[in-house]
Amino acid sequence: KQEVTQIPAALSVPEGENLVLNCSFTDSAIYNLQWFRQDPGKGLTSLLLIQSSQREQTSGRLNASLDKSSGRSTLYIAASQPGDSATYLCAVMDSSYKLIFGSGTRLLVRP
């Protein structure tokens, strides 16, 4: 059974700092991995999708990497801003096309 874990559960950093969020999964048989952002009381916004054949994807200040063999992904946020404060969730699409989520990392960027 696929399990997704995100570390740390919460993170507080000063504005301007570069930071890394971690995601690990137990079964490497995945089709893709997706990173989402969730603001309080809102739905999920897709940030990056990494296909199983890819190693990384970039969008603006965000860079996500995927190491399928070791079951790990990282989301790198450069020059963090208070507007980046949110919960970040990773999800893997397993071999049955199910999208399975981790429990998220709550990020607070202090001005």
Q: Residue 3 or 15: which CB sits closer to another protein? A: 3
Site for another protein, residues 22 to 81, rule: CB under 8 A: 31-32, 34, 36, 41-46, 49, 51-52
CA distance 9 to 23: 11
Q: At 48, is the secondary structure helix, strand, or coil? A: strand
Q: Residue 80 or 105: which CB sits closer to another protein? A: 105
Cα radius of gyration (the chain)? 13
Find the largest Cα–Cα distance for the chain: 43
Q: Are 83 and 60 in contact (CB under 8 A)?
A: no
Q: Residue 6 or 80: which CB sits closer to another protein? A: 6
Point out which residues bind another protein (CB under 8 A). Answer: 4, 6, 31-32, 34, 36, 41-46, 49, 51-52, 89, 91, 93, 96-104
